[in-house]
Amino acid sequence: MGEFALKEVAVVGMQLQTLGIVGGGAWGTALAAVARRAGRDVLLWAREPETVAAINGTHCNAVYLPDVPLDPAIEATSEFSEVATCDALLIVTPAQHLRDIAGSLQPYLHDGQPLVLCSKGIERKTGRLMSQVAAEVLADATIAVLSGPSFAAEVARGLPTAVTLATAEEPLGRQLSHALSSPLFRCYWSNDVIGAEIGGAVKNVYAIAAGIVVGKELGKSAQAGLITRSFAEMARFGVALGAALETLIGLSGLGDLVLTCESEQSRNMSLGVALGRGASTAEVLSERLSVTEGVATANAMVEIARARGIELPIAEAVHAVVTGETTVDAAIGALLSRPLRSEAG
């Protein structure tokens, strides 16, 4: 009790006025705009010197969000040592690069510094969630997760958005939520870090499946059925890994699934549409600057499910299609010929 009380007092007393954004892609840039609207001082780290120069000089990210003007008060840097001086950091790099980025940041962080993980994925080579990767590399950091239905371009333009901010410590969760929230960006606190991460990661896999349905012109009934059965798989997988069903029904689970399965703004759904129309995974990905997280996540998810005996026929089908192990038509045929069963089973 005494240890928790001391930690709670420390968290409540912490000032979160300066927020560092680690990642200069579309989502990182959008979150920089969010933090600035919430009244925070914002410093964004980007790897590319041209991105840093554009944000500091012309106040826009010409590569990833070219049509969205940024508040001139948002500053950018290419130095980890500078962004690490902020009160809290939002880590917005691709999921498969988190381990390397965290290692590069590690020498500059101070004990207990809050890190909000905003990447949605599962590490392919280890099967670990982003919070588990960060905890391995940054043992003294305080970890939170931001997830939920949010397209970067819409968020950056100030359209209304609601997300989940999950951390094990309620005082910190509430403080981070207030630090990022504004009337147009609402953060709902949760203590279910695993649930928030799993929902955000696996919905990318099912968005590819939904895109295939659209690309093959199978109709809205098929799309609705696919989304519903995908949520059943998400819930089965998440609960088996320790997530609360309540979280998966919420913004970071069902909410994010619906968004990404309904709009080609989703890179994962648009990949699926292209696959449904006959393109290969390699052809689509070779033309993209941004990462399509569902490809790597499908591999990690299927390996975890097989090891634990979790039945995920849709995720298995997506993995087989994106890796070229089967064709789109064969995968659809296999799913539609599965034995009939109880819906609740």
User: Which residues are known catalytic residues?
Assistant: 203
Burial of 20 (0-12, 13-18, 19+ CB in 10 A): buried
Looking up tokens 């600035």 gives: 36
236/238 Cα distance (integer angstroms)? 6
Angle, to 10 degrees, between the axis of helix 328-336 and the axis of helix 313-322? 170
Which CA distances in Å does 287 have to 44, 73, 101, 265?
26, 33, 24, 16
- Answer whether 166's CB lies under 8 Å from 193's CB: yes
- Answer whether 21's CB lies under 8 Å from 35's CB: yes
Residues with Cβ within 8 Å of 250's Cβ and at least 6 positions away in sequence, in order, are: 164, 188, 190, 199
Q: Which helix (H) or strand (E) holds 147?
A: strand 142-147
